[in-house]
Structure 1
Amino acid sequence: MDEKRSLGQWFVVQTLSGQENKVRDSIQRQVQLGDAVGVYEAYIPTEKVSEVRQGKKTTTTRKHFPGYILVRMDLYDPQTNIINEDAWYFIRNVQGVIGFIGGGNTPMPLSESEVNDLFRQTHEEEAIKPKISFEIGETVRICDGAFENFEGAIQEIDNERGKLKLMVSIFGRSTPVELEFWQVDREL
């Protein structure tokens, strides 16, 4: 971790629903201008998910914690442990911010292990996750490919490759079929 990244502690800030990007951008802009005393960075933990919409596979970005952002800042003076009023009011006065999470008027910073877990989850080079998670034994309908409109029971799930192995009844015989997550729909 570089020296600049080690400044401050991470705090969770609640925002108005749907205003996370706007709040993050506003904070980042003020940090770049040098107006944000004791505030270093704002971050939104996200992940990429895939789903089928109107018969087409789409990839979207989903927020881990909708309505919340993380802010790295010096909220407390290191010697006196008293709240840094400039940093406190700067964040509280950003349009779209509701307040800090944890501890009422004395917010608790995230622990180092919590921060490491969050960044590990969002920075790992992993396959795009499916928006829907499946369970073994669940019955699904195939919505794409040669077996379109057939139903099958899930036998195996390969989250890393984004594939399912289904047992499909074809001409009265159970046949294993391997499909991608986006090629099936949950039965309703």
Structure 2
Amino acid sequence: MSQQEAKWYIVQIQSGSEKKVIQQLHEKARQRGLSEVFEEVFMPAQEVSEVRRGKKMNVEKKFFPGYILIKMQPNRDAWYLVRSIDGVFDFLGAKGNNGIPQPVAPKDVAQIRDMQEKISQGAYTAVHASTYEIGENVKVIDGPFEGFVGVVEEVDQVKSRLKVSVSIFGRATPIELEYGQVTKV
């Protein structure tokens, strides 16, 4: 198999199954002799303290629930392996491109890493008092979808999360975002 330059891809997965998908990816890649094809798997997250049932606990807060980033060599065997994992929906941008995933610009991944570092250092806070309504237009101001405008489909006020439908490669794509990642239009 010829070596190609690795590229970053965003993979949409079932929210809450990020760690399981990453573990399965590593296992399947090893079993199929494709470990060298996958350079890095990245799930932007931050360790935060929460009080649950009266006890303070450290929990991992994902910045983009339902998405992981994978740096891998672009080839059909690797794409098929990723798609074969339970909980994986597809690569972002593959549907309108004959099933061929579209890579993410390295500068976008660098911005995500920078944001994660700044949040870890306390430069940003995740407290937002805004409330959103279904059908309301919002603009994504943070993350890999920064600059996209979408429509709120679902609101989870307890978790301060939204499901927003944005047009990606000409198709309406639902993405899960936290309040701090959007602003009202």
TM-score normalised by the chain length of structure 2: 0.55
Q: 1:35 to 1:111 in 2, by over 3 A?
A: closer
Alignment correspondent of 2:79: 88
Q: Give the conservation status (yes or no) of the 8 Å contact 1:47–1:62.
A: yes
Q: Give the conservation status (yes or no) of the 8 Å contact 2:14–2:66.
A: yes
How far, CA to CA, are the matches of 1:134 and 1:126 in structure 2? 22
Alignment correspondent of 1:98: 89
Q: Looking at CA atoms only, which structure, 1 or 2, has the larger radius of gyration?
A: 1
How far, CA to CA, are the matches of 1:25 and 1:48 in structure 2? 20
Matched, 1:132 2:127: yes
How far, CA to CA, are the matches of 1:60 and 1:130 in structure 2? 16
Alignment of 1:27-176 (within 5 A): 27-32=25-30, 34-36=33-35, 38-75=37-74, 84-104=75-95, 105-124=99-118, 125-127=120-122, 132-133=127-128
How far, CA to CA, are the matches of 1:23 and 1:62 in structure 2? 17
How far, CA to CA, are the matches of 2:80 and 2:9 in structure 1? 14
Offset of 1:131 from its aligned partner? 5.2
Q: Give the conservation status (yes or no) of the 8 Å contact 1:15–1:96.
A: yes
Gaps of 5+ in 1: 1-6, 76-83, 136-188
**Among 24, 27, 34, which residue is 1:26 paired with?**
24
Alignment correspondent of 2:8: 10
Q: 1:112 to 1:20 in 2, by over 3 A?
A: same
Offset of 1:88 from its aligned partner? 1.4
Offset of 1:51 from its aligned partner? 3.4
How far, CA to CA, are the matches of 1:69 and 1:93 in structure 2? 15
Q: Give the conservation status (yes or no) of the 8 Å contact 1:47–1:63.
A: yes
Offset of 1:10 from its aligned partner? 0.9
Aligned length: 122
Offset of 1:114 from its aligned partner? 0.6
Offset of 1:128 from its aligned partner? 9.5
How far, CA to CA, are the matches of 1:19 and 1:112 in structure 2? 25
Aligned partner of residue 58 in structure 1, secondary structure = strand
Q: Give the conservation status (yes or no) of the 8 Å contact 1:15–1:97.
A: yes
How far, CA to CA, are the matches of 1:32 and 1:99 in structure 2? 21
Q: 1:44 to 1:113 in 2, by over 3 A?
A: same
Q: Give the conservation status (yes or no) of the 8 Å contact 1:11–1:110.
A: yes
Offset of 1:130 from its aligned partner? 5.9
Offset of 1:16 from its aligned partner? 1.7
TM-score normalised by the chain length of structure 1: 0.54
Letter in 1 for 2:121: E
Q: 1:96 to 1:37 in 2, by over 3 A?
A: farther
How far, CA to CA, are the matches of 1:53 and 1:94 in structure 2? 32
How much identity, in percent, do the aligned residues show? 33
